Amino acid sequence: MANCATPGRKFQQFSFLKIGYLEEFFPLTKNMTEIMIQSQTNTIFALGLNNVCAKFLFVSDLDHTLVGNDLAMVKLLDNLQLHRIQHGTKIVYSTGRSLHLYQELQESQKRKQKELIKPDILVCAVGTEIYHYDSKEELVLDLEWSKHLSCNWDRELVARTAANFSSLKPQPESEQRPFKVSYFVQEEKALQIALELENLLVKEAKVEIQIICSHSDHKEYNKNLDILPSSANKGIAMTFVREKLAISVGKTVACGDSGNDIALFANRQEKGIIVGNAQRELLDWHHNNPNPNRYLAKTNFADGIAEGLRHFSLL
Ligand code: GLC
Ligand code: MG
């Protein structure tokens, strides 16, 4: 951020001038950010080279990625907030949590005075729900996205089929969503069950689903197993959001730590950051699917994200 602070301060010296007057000096300039950068002869070059002051789309998982080390999180969010104000950077949280559990997390961070800043867009329930803020600053569901997910999805059949597997323990009611049926399972049983479910639902019943397994903090069951329509996951939701915001793949970065984040990184041109504390399931996948656009941080949680953003010269 140090690079950005200098032009920002100097720009204030220009801010009393009328745009028309500035245009005489900077005829090619369309917006204030460009004026600011163009007015700093010495810094233009550095900014142009490392891109530190360009707008980007920041997409991050919450649990064990952005959230995990409160001090590091607050520091990173302060920097991102500044970048949002100065450059129009967009902040998107993409969580496996339902809106209900997201709000619980928000409240508990607030009580600790280590708040999650308001995102521009919130993606919940492993990419199956997208929320925007309306003019009253209230979260509203993106109905276009929900409509898109309802093709070839039969929630009732999915839940009925999965109920036959006694090793699957249903997650709490709040996590059962219109386009997400979720269970806890023991790791050693997860793969076999996923294969059988896929066979029953995709091959036999012709329902277009996908099964996503990720680490769980549950005492008895160490995996979450989510069944979603094949048209949604965190990666597909990121594309939808990115296109809505009209930000290019090259200016998008996604961060995660576990199995449900693989979709943020698989076959993607967006930049990816895996935090140092990532789960084995994601690390194994990362090592088997190398991609120069993906960075594995040495440090954990929000420190790992900041390290990755510096690696990509975004912050
Ligand atoms: C969150 C959700 C849970 C889901 C898990 C993994 O913990 O609350 O329902 O299974 O993420 O995607
Ligand atoms: Mg996570």
Tens digits of pLDDT across the chain (315 residues): 334 433 333 333 333 333 333 333 333 333 444 434 333 333 333 333 446 779 999 999 999 999 999 999 999 999 999 999 999 999 999 999 999 999 999 999 999 999 999 999 999 999 999 999 999 999 999 999 999 999 989 999 999 999 999 999 999 999 999 999 999 999 999 999 999 999 999 999 999 999 999 999 999 999 999 999 999 999 999 999 999 999 999 999 999 999 999 999 999 999 999 999 999 999 999 999 999 999 999 999 999 999 999 999 999
Q: Which is the closest atom of ligand 1 to the Cα of 180?
A: 9
Closest listed ligand to the CA of 234: 1
Judgement on whether residues 122 and 245 belong to the same structural domain of the protein: yes
Provide the CATH number for the domain around residue 110: 3.40.50.1000
Judgement on whether residues 285 and 306 belong to the same structural domain of the protein: yes
Judgement on whether residues 171 and 287 belong to the same structural domain of the protein: no
Backbone angles phi and psi of 69, in degrees to 5: -135, 105
129 lines ligand 1 (CB under 6 A): no
Give the Å distance between the CA of 4 and the centre of ligand 2: 30
pLDDT of residue 51: 62
Number of domains in the chain: 3
Judgement on whether residues 70 and 37 belong to the same structural domain of the protein: no
Q: In this prediction, what percent of the chain has a pLDDT beyond 90?
A: 83
Give the DSSP letter string of 176-236. -BTTBEEEEE-HHHHHHHHHHHHIIIIIIS---EEEEEEE---SS--EEEEEEETT-SHHH
Domain of residue 129: give its range: 57-143+232-311
Domain-terminating residue out of 207, 229, 251: 229
Judgement on whether residues 239 and 307 belong to the same structural domain of the protein: yes
Q: Note whether 90 and 57 are within 8 A (CB).
A: yes
Domain-terminating residue out of 201, 229, 257: 229
Give the Å distance between the CA of 151 and the centre of ligand 1: 23
pLDDT digits (tens, 9 = 90+) for 244-298: 999 999 999 999 999 999 999 999 999 999 999 999 999 999 999 999 999 999 9
Judgement on whether residues 8 and 77 belong to the same structural domain of the protein: no
Judgement on whether residues 83 and 208 belong to the same structural domain of the protein: no
Q: At how many degrees (to 10) do helices 2-14 and 41-50 cross?
A: 140
pLDDT of residue 52: 75
Give the Å distance between the CA of 222 and the centre of ligand 2: 14
pLDDT of residue 29: 38
Judgement on whether residues 118 and 135 belong to the same structural domain of the protein: yes
Judgement on whether residues 239 and 113 belong to the same structural domain of the protein: yes
Reported pTM: 0.85
Judgement on whether residues 78 and 46 belong to the same structural domain of the protein: no
Provide the CATH number for the domain around residue 225: 3.90.1070.10
pLDDT of residue 58: 98
Q: Note whether 197 and 159 are within 8 A (CB).
A: no
Judgement on whether residues 7 and 82 belong to the same structural domain of the protein: no
Domain-terminating residue out of 175, 210, 229: 229
Q: Specify the amino acid at residue 300.
A: N
